[in-house]
Amino acid sequence: MKTIFIAGHNGMVGSAIYRKLEKSSAHKIITANRKELDLTCQKSVLNFFEKNKINEVYLAAAKVGGIYSNSTYPAEFIYENLMIELNVIHSAFITGVKKLLFLGSSCIYPKFSKQPINENQLLHGFLEKTNEPYAIAKIAGIKICESYNRQYAKSHRLDYRSLMPTNLYGPGDSYHSENSHVVPALIRRFHEAKALQKEYVEVWGTGKPRREFLHVDDLANACEVVMNLDKELYEKYTEPMQSHINVGYGEDISILELAKMISQIVGYSGKIIFNKSKPDGVQKKLLDSKIINKIGWNPCIKLDDGIASAYEDFLMNINKWN
């Protein structure tokens, strides 16, 4: 029986992968929380890998946040993410782990990418400055995997892969008042406005930017599909120095439309006001997911259904965010 390590199992992505994989008894899943294992400490990570005889790794651990936290804590975002990636991937290599899946982010692509964004646009322009440190760390994660594959694929039979999901939401998301992403931030804001009977809710930016949103359970399905994909087929759709694959919903929506959708799901009937003094970020970001669609994966969860389930998850865990 193979042993699978899910790095970051308490996060939104890691917990979704855990829920997906635990349905099978064909493997053993091991995890470690932050108190048990500091992924930024090289010695601790290596000791953990040596002790547990790991066969496969899903690298979902990361320091994440929205525009505010990325802009406020850039040093932490680049340092912690680089350290996590380097320590986990290098320890996996040293201890003989043959298969690893690295989870990145669509923010790796240039600010003015052609739409929809396909994989070959990586490193072909300037990044969005509001999350540049995080994006650089995620680009490094792709290149670390590629570099180990290029040097050791034949001699050590390495097979380290990378997936780049679009904006995610769903169970396990963070609803922090300042550091959350747009979907959980709006869910909390409209919920609190409803409870306090506020006349209006303020949303950052103009409302014009368009974003693509994918339910995290759909991403977990994609992770399993790609991890178990025959190596020859994976290599058919990728290249040694462009080995990552996009995972998107296939449609985008304006922030204005998103705000209206969430307000209706939450049951808030007040006004929505946009604070145009706040940053919009990239105006449009839609991934080209043709490759993973050809491989055989497609999203199953509609956006309105997914947000409704996310709101239910928020209500179930509301005491955590008060």
Tens of pLDDT, residues 194-229:
999 999 999 989 999 999 999 999 999 999 999 999
Overall average pLDDT of the 120-125 stretch: 96
pLDDT at 320: 80
Q: Is the pLDDT of residue 180 over 90?
A: no
Chain centre distance of CA 242: 19
What are the φ and ψ backbone dihedral angles of 56, each rounded to 5 degrees? Answer: -135, 150
Burial track 177-190 (b if 16+ CB lie within 10 A, e otherwise): eebbbbbbbbbbbb
**Greater pLDDT, 227 or 129:** 227
Has 237 been annotated as catalytic?
Answer: no
Helices 132-156, 74-94: inter-axial angle, 10-degree rounding = 10
- Joined tokens for residue 36: 């048990």
Q: Is the pLDDT of residue 321 over 80?
A: no
Please choose, from the candidates 108, 143, 114, 105, the residue with its C-alpha nearest in 3D space to the C-alpha of residue 128. 108
Q: Is the pLDDT of residue 107 over 80?
A: yes
Burial track 297-321 (b if 16+ CB lie within 10 A, e otherwise): bebebebeebbbbbbebbeeeeeee
pLDDT at 181: 84
User: How far is it, in rounded angstroms, from Cα 302 to Cα 251?
Assistant: 10
Q: Could you tell me the pLDDT band of residue 155, with boundaries at 50, 70 and 90?
A: very high
pLDDT at 126: 94
- Joined tokens for residue 147: 């570099």
Residue count of the chain: 322
Q: Is the pLDDT of residue 193 over 90?
A: yes
Q: Which residues are within 8 A (CB) of 107 and not within 5 positions of it... i.e. 6 or more apart? A: 127, 128, 131, 134, 135, 138
How wide is the angle at C-alpha 216 spanned by C-alphas 84 and 164, nearest 5°? 55
Q: Could you tell me the pLDDT band of residue 36, with boundaries at 50, 70 and 90?
A: very high
Tens of pLDDT, residues 57-106:
999 999 987 777 888 899 999 999 999 999 999 999 999 999 999 999 99
pLDDT at 7: 98
User: How far is it, in rounded angstroms, from Cα 236 to Cα 243?
Assistant: 10
pLDDT at 221: 98
The pLDDT > 90 percentage for the chain reads 86
Question: 149-152 contacts: CB < 8 A, separation 24 or more?
Answer: 149/240, 149/243, 150/240, 150/241, 152/93
Overall average pLDDT of the 271-284 stretch: 88
Q: How far apart are the first and last CA of the chain?
A: 42
Please choose, from the candidates 166, 140, 161, the residue with its C-alpha nearest in 3D space to the C-alpha of residue 218. 166
pLDDT at 71: 85
Overall average pLDDT of the 127-140 stretch: 94
The chain-wide mean pLDDT, for the chain, equals 95
**Lowest mean pLDDT, pick from 117-121, 303-307, 316-320:** 316-320
- Joined tokens for residue 209: 């930017």
Neighbours of 197 (CB within 10 A): 9
Neighbours of 35 (CB within 10 A): 6
What residue ranges define each of the domains in the chain, with the CATH number in brackets?
2-321 (3.40.50.720)
List 134, 148, 169, 249, catalytic entry: 134
Q: Could you tell me the pLDDT band of residue 130, with boundaries at 50, 70 and 90?
A: confident
